[in-house]
Amino acid sequence: MKKALKIISSLISFVIIGVMLIFAFAVISSKASGGEPTIFGYQLKTVLSGSMEPTFQTGSIIAIKPAESSSKYDKGDVITFRDKDDKIITHRIIEVEQVNGKMMYTTKGDNNDGADLDPVLSQNVIGKYTEFTIPYVGYLLNYANSKAGAALLLVVPGVILVLYSIFSVYKAIREIDGKKTSQST
């Protein structure tokens, strides 16, 4: 029974530390990159609308490979780009044209009835969707980008870790006192 409790205690410790590290990484990397975190060279973007459902759900995070100056995209590729109002949008390319030596992409959300009004210039493409999606985690990342969210996601795991440390020290002291009592008798 004691061995099982020790294993469970170690597992809980591992999970708490892991969750704290993930939250800290998400908050720090999103602040350092000025918005969306980058992992292993891929940017994580939060899906804020249903225009691409069912490809990915609102609130998901998606990974995109950042565009390079020589990047060219094909019909059917899902790209993330800045529109004329500087909004970030992720839609599928439905047509590729070359106009005056520049690539232009006509895009459409999978869940939209018609194509986007303005074509996307190649210099406005941020990156290409890499087929990696995690549903609903985007809500957490959006919250982490707020001041209250950043504080909460860093403070709460820290407090939990401190409380768990206090509990572990108390338990170790009790165990040592128990051994001293059994040896003296």
User: What range does the domain containing 87 cover?
Assistant: 32-166
End-to-end CA distance of the chain: 25
| The pLDDT value given to residue 71 | 76
What CATH number corresponds to the domain at position 61? 2.10.109.10
What gap in Å lies between CA 16 and CA 36, rounded to an integer? 24
* Helices 147-184 and 137-144, axial angle in degrees (round to 10): 100
Residue 144 domain-assigned (yes or no): yes
Residue 88 domain-assigned (yes or no): yes
More confident residue, 62 or 156: 62
What gap in Å lies between CA 64 and CA 61, rounded to an integer? 10
| The pLDDT value given to residue 171 | 83
Residue 10 domain-assigned (yes or no): no
Residue 182 domain-assigned (yes or no): no
pTM: 0.63
Is the C-alpha dihedral spanning 111, 131, 60, 69 positive or negative? negative
| The pLDDT value given to residue 29 | 64
Number of structural domains the chain divides into: 1
Q: Is the pLDDT assigned to residue 75 strictly greater than 80?
A: yes
Residues 128 and 83: beta-carbon distance below 8 Å: no
Active site residues: 49
In tens, the pLDDT along 80-101 reads: 999 988 899 999 999 999 888 8
Q: Is the pLDDT assigned to residue 35 strictly greater than 60?
A: no
What gap in Å lies between CA 49 and CA 173, rounded to an integer? 54
Residue 85 domain-assigned (yes or no): yes
What percentage of the chain reaches a pLDDT higher than 70? 85
Residue 74 domain-assigned (yes or no): yes
Residue 176 domain-assigned (yes or no): no
Residue 71 domain-assigned (yes or no): yes
